[in-house]
């Protein structure tokens, strides 16, 4: 399971930085703390499918972009 969390985090960070979006901006859109976004990017937390969907929506990408 850890490998999936790490890959999700890597994809999230890559897409977020490519779009020029900060962790704080993502956190505000999701109504969570910036540290929560950081923990996802670092593979330290396993977000729910709902959270993954919200992240994809916040970045305007399909869910599968975060999961590949």
Which domain covers residue 49, as residue numbers? 2-59
Residue 35 falls inside a structural domain: yes
Q: Based on the structure, what is the number of domains in the chain?
A: 1
Residue 36 falls inside a structural domain: yes
Domain with residue 40: its CATH number is 1.10.260.40
Residue 53 falls inside a structural domain: yes
In whole angstroms, give the CA distance from residue 53 to residue 10. Answer: 16
Write the DSSP string, 1-68: -HHHHHHHHHHHHHHHHHTT--HHHHHHHHTS-HHHHHHHHTT-S---HHHHHHHHHHHTS-HHHHH-
pLDDT per residue as tens, the chain (68 positions): 568 899 999 999 999 999 999 999 999 999 999 999 999 999 999 999 999 999 999 999 999 999 98
Indicate yes or no: pTM above 0.85: yes
Residue 29 falls inside a structural domain: yes
Name the token pair of 35: 């540290």
Give residue-wise pLDDT tens across range 46-65.
999 999 999 999 999 999 99
């Amino acid at each position: 399971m850890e490998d999936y969390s790490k890959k999700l985090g890597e994809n999230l960070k890559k897409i977020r930085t490519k779009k020029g979006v900060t962790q704080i901006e993502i956190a505000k859109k999701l109504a969570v703390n910036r540290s929560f976004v950081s923990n996802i990017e670092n593979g330290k937390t396993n977000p729910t499918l709902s959270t993954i969907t919200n992240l994809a929506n916040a970045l305007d990408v399909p869910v599968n972009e975060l999961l590949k």
